[in-house]
Amino acid sequence: MSELRTLGEFIVEKQHDFPHASGELSSLLASIRLAAKIVNREINKAGLVDITGATGVDNIQGEEQQKLDAYANDKFKAALEARDQVCGVASEEEDEAVAFNKELNKNAKYVVLMDPLDGSTNIDVNVSVGTIFSIYRRVSEVGTPPTEEDFLQPGNKQVAAGYVIYGSSTMLVYTTGNGVNGFTYDPSLGTFCLSHENMTIPQDGRIYSINEGNYVRFPTGVKKYIKFCQENVPEDNRPYTSRYIGSLVADFHRNLLKGGIYLYPRTESHPKGKLRLLYECNPMAFLIEQAGGIATDGNQRIMDIKPTELHQRVPLFIGSTNMVKTVHRFLEQYPDEE
Ligand code: P6P
């Protein structure tokens, strides 16, 4: 049996990749690990206790906030605030960015952006959901409250990003810019153990993930790509297959392991796309590029987009390089009037 390497050991080991690292990012990642364990515990009980269902409160997205959304948001915020590396958090569940004002956060160097529980409407039907996080070094003066500028940085400034997938097993997958590594939670030990070292996405794949219920309103190029997948059998005789879970983290994770593409173009109900740039698209884009794939909004690299607002939405095409490039060819061949 290969040696057991825990997430904690791995974080410290990799910290030495950064000779001048002061251990602050390592400690920040450890706080995310702690919150992931706490949220995992509650999610696994979701069917048993009255914590599922909606709170009756809508978040800024106008989406009915699920009780576990609020719970996950509170636990991740508390875990991040309890240590001295983070000066503020932006979250899908918070209208505005939250500044941490305790004395111990005063000289913190990092901000965190997160979707505390993505895909939460799937909880009541026992489908995998996830937490997505994105970490930046603050750009405003240390010792002062964080500013909007700290949170509206382009994705290419991220220092770390990752997700927790609460599925048939719970995994934490993250990057600090030196590849992608996955850790599976062992409840008997209460620890995340390295299970997927140096994760890379195949350059090509046969899985396409898109909500075809929106087909009639897709851009022409996207419609042509879907038909291409349905009508073409590649040389290796492995036909394309449609797989859409309705939970970004779950679709992304499967495509990362097996090869594939996830597409969320603009639609009638979401003319700018549905997914949020800062705490869904950018962290996933960092991960996929570190794993050898690509992520665009149909025109440009996701991580080069200059954000203008906290909950900004963009179209998302992310996954195996050759598949994303094929979509681009159709989008260029069949341009739609804006
Ligand atoms: P639709 C969940 O709400 C989410 O943000 C992603 O996790 C998921 O991929 C997508 O939206 C599902 O959206 O419109 O297909 O139900």
Q: Whose CA is nearest to atom 16 of ligand 1?
A: 246
pLDDT digits (tens, 9 = 90+) for 270-294: 999 999 999 999 999 999 999 999 9
Locate 173 and state its tokens. Answer: 């997958």
pLDDT digits (tens, 9 = 90+) for 148-198: 999 999 999 999 999 999 999 999 999 999 999 999 999 999 999 999 999
| C-alpha 69, offset from chain centre | 15
Locate 218 and state its tokens. Answer: 């897709």
Q: Is 247 close to ligand 1, i.e. is its CB under 6 Å away?
A: yes
Locate 29 and state its tokens. Answer: 């990642």
Which atom of ligand 1 is nearest the CA belonging to 269? 14
Q: Is 162 close to ligand 1, i.e. is its CB under 6 Å away?
A: no
pLDDT at 1 exceeding the cut of 60: no
Which atom of ligand 1 is nearest the CA belonging to 247? 7
Cβ atoms of 274 and 285 closer than 8 Å: no
What are the φ/ψ torsions at residue 263 (nearest 5 degrees)? -125, 130
Starting at the edge strand found earlier in the chain, the sheet holding 316-319 runs: 241-242, 207-209, 261-264, 316-319, 294-296
**Sign of the CA dihedral running 287, 288, 290, 291:** positive
Arithmetic mean of pLDDT, 2-30: 83
User: What is the rounded average pLDDT for all residues in the chain?
Assistant: 92
pLDDT digits (tens, 9 = 90+) for 97-129: 999 988 888 899 999 999 999 998 888 888 999
The predicted structure's pLDDT at residue 2 = 59
Q: Is 211 close to ligand 1, i.e. is its CB under 6 Å away?
A: yes
Question: How far does residue 318's CA lie from ligand 1's centre (Å)?
Answer: 14
Q: Is 66 close to ligand 1, i.e. is its CB under 6 Å away?
A: no
Q: DSSP assignment of 144-198, as one string? A: S---HHHHS--GGG-SEEEEEEESSSEEEEEESSS-EEEEEEETTTTEEEEEE-S
The predicted structure's pLDDT at residue 68 = 87
The predicted structure's pLDDT at residue 300 = 98
The predicted structure's pLDDT at residue 105 = 84
Q: Whose CA is nearest to atom 13 of ligand 1?
A: 246
Indicate left, alpha or beta for 157 from its phi (over 0: left) and psi (-120 to 50: alpha).
Answer: alpha
d(CA 51, CA 28): 28
Residue among 118, 125, 208, 214 to mutate when testing ligand 1 (max atoms within 8 A of CB): 118
Residues 6 or more apart whose CB falls under 8 angstroms from that of 293 comprise: 201, 256, 318, 319, 320, 321, 324
- The model's pTM is 0.94
d(CA 102, CA 115): 23
**Sign of the CA dihedral running 284, 210, 172, 35:** positive
Where is average pLDDT lowest: 9-18, 235-244, 252-261? 9-18
Question: How far does residue 234's CA lie from ligand 1's centre (Å)?
Answer: 29
Residue type, 4: L
Give the burial class of 208: count Cβ atoms within 10 A of its Cβ; 0-12 exposed, 13-18 middle, 19 or more buried: buried
| Domains of the chain with bracketed CATH | 7-196 (3.30.540.10), 207-333 (3.40.190.80)
**Is residue 202 helix, strand or coil?**
coil
Q: How confident is the model at residue 13 (pLDDT cuts 50, 70, 90)?
A: confident
